[in-house]
């Protein structure tokens, strides 16, 4: 008999066990047999099992070697391709094109992981993930709201964000101390507001939110002069949290002129 797995805190493990919630997730994903689905953090395999009822094969990325070995022993390699890797370091392009990414993401790395996956948007059809509710609030926030910040702008620049439903802590073992939410991301293709220099755009967004309540003049002093801000139609006294994604792109494009 297989020994029960003890959740490892360093991997942020909270295993989804609620069958009704798992069914709701699968229904939201609505996988087709021809889909190339990649599951991040399969853990004990509850969602993996439900997905494999509808898919002939599935890729999973699991950093915990013990859990990866258990999954590999349950399914043939032709059905389940287990990648024993850190999801933060995976080259997702190597997994193929038209990827559908799913998963109950470890909350301790959720934001860095979203930024990592964002770099592969051209290879992604959609993303369905469980996240800390607070992170989803930030992703979905509008300019001027308390939750609006760098994550809102950078994710919203690349993806359409759709909150699907909230999930209580009782759906997991061990129970997290926070509420969760399931969200869908679809790449903007083409981009709604294309930045000419995306590195400059990212640098401006990062600087603007580096210290909340700081004016654009002060936050962006190393990037753009007050005179150029005014010439581009931006109030130097405005704060980053008041600018929409479209306005951030316009600012980056003006600086790039």
CA distance 180 to 35: 26
Tell me if 233 is assigned to some domain: yes
CA distance 210 to 219: 7
Which of left, alpha, beta for 45 (phi over 0: left; psi -120 to 50: alpha)? left
Q: Which domain holds residue 229?
A: 198-256
Q: What is the pLDDT of residues 138-178, one digit of tens each?
A: 999 999 999 999 999 999 999 999 999 999 999 998 888 88
152 and 214 part of one domain: no
- Overall average pLDDT of the 116-122 stretch: 93
Residue 247, burial from CB neighbour count under 10 angstroms (0-12, 13-18, 19+): middle
178 and 245 part of one domain: no
Q: What is the pLDDT of residues 35-91, one digit of tens each?
A: 999 999 998 899 999 999 999 999 999 999 999 999 999 999 999 999 999 999 999
Tell me if 193 is assigned to some domain: no
Q: What is the CATH number of the domain that holds 223?
A: 1.10.8.100
238 and 210 part of one domain: yes
Dihedral (C-alpha) 242, 245, 250, 252: value to the nearest 10 degrees? 90
Bridge partners (DSSP) listed for residue 128:
102, 184
Best CA proximity match to 67, nearest among 23, 4, 128, 129: 4
């Amino acid at each position: 008999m297989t020994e029960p797995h003890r959740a490892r805190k360093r991997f942020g493990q909270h295993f989804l066990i609620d069958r009704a919630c798992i069914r709701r997730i699968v229904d939201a994903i609505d996988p087709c047999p021809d889909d190339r689905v990649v599951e991040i953090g399969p853990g004990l395999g509850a969602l993996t099992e439900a997905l494999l009822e509808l898919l002939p094969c599935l890729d999973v990325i699991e950093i915990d070697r013990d859990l990866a070995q258990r999954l590999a022993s349950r399914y043939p390699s032709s059905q389940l391709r287990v990648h024993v890797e850190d999801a933060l370091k995976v080259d997702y392009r190597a997994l193929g094109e038209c990827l559908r990414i799913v998963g109950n993401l470890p909350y301790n790395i959720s934001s860095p992981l979203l930024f990592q996956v964002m770099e592969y948007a051209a290879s992604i059809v959609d993303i369905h993930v469980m996240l800390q509710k607070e992170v989803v609030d930030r992703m979905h926030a509008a300019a001027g709201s308390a939750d609006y910040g760098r994550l809102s702008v950078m994710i919203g620049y690349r993806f359409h964000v759709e909150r699907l439903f909230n999930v209580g802590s009782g759906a997991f073992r061990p129970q997290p101390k926070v509420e969760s939410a399931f969200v869908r991301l679809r790449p903007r293709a083409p981009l709604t507001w294309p930045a000419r220099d995306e590195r400059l755009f990212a640098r401006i967004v990062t600087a603007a939110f580096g210290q909340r309540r700081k004016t654009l003049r002060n936050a962006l002093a190393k990037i753009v002069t007050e005179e150029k801000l005014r010439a581009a139609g931006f109030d130097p006294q405005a704060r980053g949290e008041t600018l929409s994604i479209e306005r951030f792109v316009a600012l980056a494009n003006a600086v790039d002129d």
